[in-house]
Structures are given as C-alpha cells and as structure tokens.
Structure 1
Amino acid sequence: MTGATGTGADVLAASAGSLRERFEAAFMPNYGVPPVVPVRGEGCHLWDADGRRYLDLIAGIAVSSLGHAHPALVEAVSRQVATLAHTSNLFVNEPEVLLAERLLGLLKAPGRVFLANSGTEANECALKLAISYGRNTGRKYFVAAENSFHGRTLGALSLTGKASIRDQFGPFPADVRFVPYGDADALKQAVTPDCAAVFLEPTQGEAGVVPPPDGYFTAVREICDATGALLVLDEIQSAIGRTGHWFAHQHDGVVPDVLTLAKGLGGGMPVGACVGFGNAGTMFAKGDHGSTFGGNPVAAAAARAVLDTIERDGLLEHVRTVGKLLADGIAAIDHPLVSGVRGRGLWLAVVLTADRAADVQAAAQRAGFLVNAVQPDAVRIAPPLVITAEQVETFLAAFPAILAEVTP
C-alpha cells in the first residue's frame, strides 16, 4: 500500500513496521516512534498490526477503565452518535446535564461542573478559577509540588514541577512556588494569606505513582483553611475507581475546593471535568470560560456508561481486591532488581533498584505484557478496572522471567 490516504481496511492490512515508518514520516517527532501498533482490543487484551496479542496493563495511561470494546461503552457511544453527536456550548444537551448531576451525586458535596476534553483543559479551568479568586481577594501566587504533573499547556505547565518538560518553555504566566510532595511543614511555610491556591495530586502519577504520607492531606486541608487558599486536587489519573474509591481524596476524608478529572472518566473517549465546590463553583461569570467540544454528548454518554458500569458491576471492591493481589504478588517477588511496590488499587509502580525501567518495559512487551516505564526506576501498572484475578496471576507468573531477561 502506498500514499497517505488509505481506507480503514488499508490501515488494518498494513504491517506494524510499515505503520511505524509512516507515523515517523507524517507526525511531529515529540513522541518518537512508539514500538507497538495496536489495531484491535477486547477486554484487557490488545492485538497489534502483526496479530500479536498483549495483556494491557497500562490501559491507555489509566484511561480505558472498562477495557477495550466493552459492550456498555460501545452501546452508549453508538446510540448517542446516531442520535446527536455535537451541539457546542451554544445549546444544552441532556447527556452533559446527566453527567454533571451524576458526578455531583458521587461527590456528595454541593458544587458546579465544567466539562472539557482532557485533563490539561480541566486544569486550565481550575487555574482560571484560582486566578479569579486571587484577583478578587488580592492574592498573588500559587503553590504546587515538586515532580508534579498537571498538563502541557502553558497554564497547566506553570503548575507542573518536572523541570525536564517545563524549563524549556518558560517564562510562565503564573507565579508558582514548588515544595516537596508530602512535606506538610514545607507546605505550611510556603502558603501564606497571599497564596491564592494550592495544586496537588492525591497521588503523584507521572512522578512514579507516589502516594502521600498518612495524614498529609488532612494537614493540607487545615493549612488551606487557615490561610484562605483554595485547595485544588488534580485527580486526572487517580479518580473514577482507579484506587478503589470513586475519588482518591476519599481515602483521606477531605473535600477540595476544586477537583479536576479526565482519563478514566470517558473510558477511552476524550472528556475532562473541573468541579468547583461551594463558592468556587460560582466564581465564573458568563463568558469567562468555554469550550467548543466540552460537554460533547457522545463523550458525556460514554462517561455515564463508565460510571454506571463501575457501580453496577461492583468494580470499586473488585479494584481493591485484585489490586491487593497484584501488589502482594509483586512484593513477594525476590529479585535484586525489585525493591518494592507502591500505589493504591489498580494504580501501582514496581520500584526498581536501578534505572532499568525502560528495559523492563521492553522485555515485558516481548513477553506479551504492556507496562510503562514512568520513571527510570519505576514501572507503572494501571490495567483496566475489569482485569481478572486470573489475568493478574498470568502476569505475576511471567514477571520473574521478564526481570531475569533484563538482568541475566
């Protein structure tokens, strides 16, 4: 096949090698050339363009909550796209209203919702809320955590504490001061009555799935309450059942002022949400913010199908049970390259004793398992929430040989 305008059938008939070559020729080089070319998925498995099957233990970076081609998601999206695919924010559509109401019901706190298309857009909305709050109250700066990740647009990148992706794009539009994650004393020193908002992840995802110390978020909430700063929690990766609760902040029993969501909410469809609680939910005036595609009825229908399925199928308890099986199994592996496992639910990192995560990822791929080298010394595992105990056991049985391949 030649040319760049082949049909879907043409694409599926192409080999993985030829598709990677065409990808490299057609796309900007910011992703490099990914090694796997998936063309079909079912449940927790993916098949590549050469017909090889993989157990998907990364789920599109914690996105595919229900796995691949889940009947509930297929039915919801198919029905909605055949009825009404798009309206814009000039009109109200029922699916977006139902989704917003459903989220507020799960959060069990009075608030208002803004729907977007991605996590970084949800965080842009949160930042604009915090800027509005700061201007109204005379507050001038923000606080975020070192090694945090909140997105790649300039506003969200202002809040991101990863120098490797941040420094080359400054200066930034917001004054953000960074403190070590999990250090309540450092946070207390940084947050004064001049601070408009504190932006944190309930567990740091791109830093290597790093949970907070016990009691940290209780202290964070107290610090924000004492100074009047807004508490903004970025749950782009941690919410929608990923840690065994609907929202990761529920582990700590705190309620933020602003919450951001995306990834697993749509189960594979692009959707994000920013939720403002109390006064933070009514801070915008008409015209202060918007999105052409935010609240798209197809994405909203997909998100509702995800939420309904998680509840109907008891997936929160399932995540806790199978996640413990996975974490305990990794912890029991006696290998010099493995120092431990961290995380919650089905959002874990295998912590290594050396910077060999990329090698482990490659060896796992060769063995038919997709994992992610999230940090040089940490391998992220975030499978679909529907993964079975048997599938987890398959990976655990294969993992020692994967490690042995990396360290012969």
Structure 2
Amino acid sequence: MAFNPADVKSLMEITSRPELIFVKGEGSWLEDQEGRRYLDIMQGWAVNCLGHCPPEVVQAIEHQAKVLINPSPGFYNQPSIDLANRLTSASCFDRVFFANSGAEANEGAIKLARKWGQIHRNGAYKIITFDHSFHGRTLATMSASGKAGWDKKFAPQVDGFPKAIMNYLDSVRELIDDQTVAVMLEPVQGEGGVIPADMQFMRELRALTREKGILLIVDEVQTGMGRCGTMFAYQHYGIEPDIMTLGKGIGGGVPLSALLCREEVACFEHGDQGGTYNGNPLMTAAGVAVFDVLNAPGFMESINERAQYLSDGLNKLSAKWGMKGERGLGLLRALMLDREDGNAIVEAARTRAPEGLLLNAPRTNLLRFMPALNISKEEIDLMLSWLDELIAQVRQ
C-alpha cells in the first residue's frame, strides 16, 4: 500500500515525517505499510524499554481493560497503589504522584519545589537548571530547559530558572541566593548530546544542596527505569535526591510518568495537583508489568552486559573511522562523529534496503542510541555492521 499524502492532511504539522506509516512492531523491529522492516535503535526516544509490544505489557493492558479503565483520580485504584509501592520500595522516596508525560511530571516537580519554598524558605522559587538540558515542552519546562533558542520561543519565559554549567560545581554555587529553592538536572543530558554527570560532580552537588538547605531534583524521564544500568540513574552515583521524575520507559510505550519525593518534601495541599487521567488503572497496570520485568533477577545485569557490548562495538567503529569515541551510561549512549554528517547517516539508515535502520542524531556531529533494554547481542552486531556500511556510503 503506497503512502498517500492526502491521508495525513488532517494531522497538524509539528515535525518533518518521512512518507511511511508504521503498522506493526515486535521487539526491536518495526514494519511499515508496505511490509518493509526496520531495526529500531530509537524505540520512541527510549520509551519502549522492553521493545515494541512486549507480551507482559500487552497482557496487562488486555486484562485491565476488561476490568477497570478509569474510575477518576478522585478514588483509589489497585494498579496505581501497586506501582507506587513498587517504586517507593525500590528507591529512596516515600510518595508518588502519577501523570501522563515527562513534561507533566517535571511541571509537577517545579510546583512541588516552589510550594516547599513557600513553606520552608520564605517564598524562594528559583530552580537552578543547566545549559543544554531538556525538561519538556510546557511553558515552565521549556523555560527550565537549557536548549539553545528556546528562550525566544513563546516568550516571555517563566521566570526563575538560572542556568549553570554541567559538571562545573562553582557555576552552581555562584547562582545560589536567598530566592533559590532547588537544583534540577538530568543525570545524563540526553537531548544535549548524551552527557553524563561526573561522579564527583553529582556527589559534591548533593553535598552543596544540603549545605545550602535547598532541594536536589533529578529528572530521570529518560535515564530512569533501568536505562542506565540501575533501576534509577541516581543510584549509580550513590546519592539520595529529594525529588525525582520518571517518564518514557516507566510505561513501556504507553503514556505514563511519575513524580516522586521524600516524605519531608510532600507538601502539596488538596487541590494543588491533579489531572483527569493521572494514575488511571489501565496505564499503571502497564507500569506494574514493566517494573516487574525490570526487577526480575538478573535483568539489570543483562542491561549492563549489553551496554558494555554496545560501548565496545561503538569504540571499535570509532577507531576504524577516526571518530572521537563514544560516551554514555547503560543503554543510553552516543557515538561522537568527526564530521557534521549525523543527519545524513540517519537518513541513509532509514532508507537502507532491503531493511531499514532507525537512528537518532540530536546533534549533527553525534548519533544517539536508545535500544530496547532487552535487545540481543545479535541485533547489536547487526546494527553495528549496517552502521559501518552506512558510514562508508555517506562518506564515499
């Protein structure tokens, strides 16, 4: 079935999309309307942590859809209770609020921190964030983000988000004043180019925020739920933040996110936070299924094995082509190119015949890899082999 532009004219134009329609997915593979297959190393920007249509998630949704879909967040439901208890038992946090997207969870974290500042820091409201960070597409989360050019979009920005420099503690220290309530960062800046926080920086940042009596917020929308080789990336650093947000992988492909905090920070009053779909049993049942797979014995170890395997393969590719190495944490990795041909490689990969390859270039000199956490070594080998061919094709 050929692509017909007239069929999609009712969709709002918000990004450039290729002329194909995906109709089926399984594991690390997608299939379009013409039956062509693609090895997917993007997985919806790290959303499908268990690949496309994982049986555990499908079964959980099928079962829950027959029982209860949404009684309203004004009432308790069992899947949301079950998922909240799993998340708190696996983390340093005590309270959970469920939402529908990472941006919504981050918006909630901003509100919670400001509420805490009203109560405990004489109305302090500023949240220090970082250059090149990405926290979402609402007005507040865009203002919090350090993405170049975003300070001019939809102006005026929401006030109160001074920008520090990642892995440079003095840049944070210099911004703290009487109006500062928190520091907010991604343990690995994904959109910014897969830039991990240094171990020493993260630990010293935690010490600094405690010294100054302000909160530490970790945005784990992309890094959480096993993506970095621990259930939550903050655990890699041996610290305990005050607030954490989750999204993407928490639902294994369905719209689900979470805001977590320690008991001392849980200061919302009735009416401060809500949402019609938030914590509905259909989505949280999917979240329970995802969590249980990730928490199964040996699963985290397998992520770290695959991460090392992918890292080694990317380094070999880099050495062969004279590139600048690779970096990342767990199965969130980047290949640093020596030329500005990332977009050309992505395009050549997607149009590759007879089977395509889906890659991502958040910057023109860098490729980002966000495969399913259960991708096989054989699929990693296949991707690396194809990528080698594609680089040769683009650079001939």
Q: By the TM > 0.5 criterion, same fold?
A: yes
Query: Displacement of 1:120 after TM fit?
Result: 0.3
- Output one character per residue of 1:203-236: Cα deviation in whole Å (capped at 9) or x when no partner: 0011011111231110110111111111111000
Give the residue type in structure 1 aligned to 2:72.
S
1:118: which partner in 2? 101
2:377: which partner in 1? 389
Matches within 5 A, 1:126-141: 126-136=109-119, 137-138=121-122, 139-141=124-126
Q: Are 2:131 and 1:146 equivalent residues in the alignment? A: yes
Give the residue type in structure 2 aligned to 1:82.
K
Query: Displacement of 1:341 after TM fit?
Result: 0.9
Paired residues of 1:96 and 1:296 also in contact (CA < 8 A): yes
Aligned with 2:386: secondary structure? helix
Paired residues of 1:193 and 1:227 also in contact (CA < 8 A): no
What is the Cα-based RMSD across aligned positions, in Å?
1.4
2:251: which partner in 1? 266
Give the residue type in structure 1 aligned to 2:83.
L
Aligned with 1:164: secondary structure? coil
Aligned with 1:254: secondary structure? coil
Q: Are 2:205 and 1:220 equivalent residues in the alignment? A: yes
Q: Are 2:234 and 1:249 equivalent residues in the alignment? A: yes
Aligned with 1:133: secondary structure? helix
2:49: which partner in 1? 65
Paired residues of 1:357 and 1:373 also in contact (CA < 8 A): yes
Aligned with 2:14: secondary structure? helix
2:28: which partner in 1? 44
Give the residue type in structure 2 aligned to 1:161.
G
Query: Displacement of 1:196 after TM fit?
Result: 0.7
Q: Are 2:279 and 1:291 equivalent residues in the alignment? A: no
Q: 2:296 aligns with which of 308, 312, 315?
A: 312
Query: Displacement of 1:110 after TM fit?
Result: 4.4
Deviates more, 1:260-269 or 1:176-185: 176-185
Q: Are 2:364 and 1:379 equivalent residues in the alignment? A: no
1:401: which partner in 2? 389
Q: For residues 205 and 65 of structure 1, what CA distance do their matches in structure 2 show?
A: 15
Q: 1:321 aligns with which of 305, 313, 319?
A: 305
1:91: which partner in 2? 75
Q: For residues 195 and 85 of structure 1, what CA distance do their matches in structure 2 show?
A: 41
Query: Displacement of 1:191 after TM fit?
Result: 2.0
Q: 1:161 aligns with which of 133, 138, 146?
A: 146
Aligned with 2:106: secondary structure? helix
Aligned with 1:165: secondary structure? coil
Paired residues of 2:230 and 2:236 also in contact (CA < 8 A): yes
Q: For residues 87 and 276 of structure 1, what CA distance do their matches in structure 2 show?
A: 25
Query: Displacement of 1:356 after TM fit?
Result: 1.3
Aligned with 2:158: secondary structure? coil
1:179: which partner in 2? 164
- Output one character per residue of 1:311-335: Cα deviation in whole Å (capped at 9) or x when no partner: 2263211110011111111101134
Q: For residues 36 and 383 of structure 1, what CA distance do their matches in structure 2 show?
A: 21
Aligned with 1:167: secondary structure? coil
Paired residues of 1:141 and 1:177 also in contact (CA < 8 A): yes
TM-score normalized with structure 2 length: 0.95
2:188: which partner in 1? 203
Query: Displacement of 1:172 after TM fit?
Result: 2.2
Query: Displacement of 1:299 after TM fit?
Result: 0.5
Q: Which runs of 5+ in 1 are unaligned?
A: 1-13
Pick closer, same or farther for the CA change 1:313–1:65 going to 2, 3 Å: farther
Query: Displacement of 1:33 after TM fit?
Result: 2.4
Q: For residues 141 and 312 of structure 2, what CA distance do their matches in structure 1 show?
A: 35
Paired residues of 2:202 and 2:237 also in contact (CA < 8 A): yes
Pick closer, same or farther for the CA change 1:68–1:200 going to 2, 3 Å: same
Aligned residues: 390
Give the residue type in structure 1 aligned to 2:109.
A
Aligned with 1:244: secondary structure? coil
Q: 1:79 aligns with which of 55, 60, 63?
A: 63
Pick closer, same or farther for the CA change 1:324–1:54 going to 2, 3 Å: same
Query: Displacement of 1:145 after TM fit?
Result: 0.1
Give the residue type in structure 1 aligned to 2:371.
P
Q: For residues 81 and 325 of structure 2, what CA distance do their matches in structure 1 show?
A: 44
Aligned with 1:396: secondary structure? helix
Deviates more, 1:184-193 or 1:125-134: 184-193
Q: Which runs of 5+ in 2 are unaligned?
A: none
2:37: which partner in 1? 53
Paired residues of 1:193 and 1:229 also in contact (CA < 8 A): no
Query: Displacement of 1:134 after TM fit?
Result: 2.0
Query: Displacement of 1:66 after TM fit?
Result: 1.1
1:28: which partner in 2? 12
Q: For residues 83 and 197 of structure 1, what CA distance do their matches in structure 2 show?
A: 41
- Output one character per residue of 1:150-204: Cα deviation in whole Å (capped at 9) or x when no partner: 0000111121111333422221233110011111111111123431111100000
Q: For residues 34 and 338 of structure 2, what CA distance do their matches in structure 1 show?
A: 34
Q: For residues 110 and 261 of structure 1, what CA distance do their matches in structure 2 show?
A: 12
Q: For residues 196 and 103 of structure 1, what CA distance do their matches in structure 2 show?
A: 25
- Output one character per residue of 1:85-107: Cα deviation in whole Å (capped at 9) or x when no partner: 11111211111011101100110
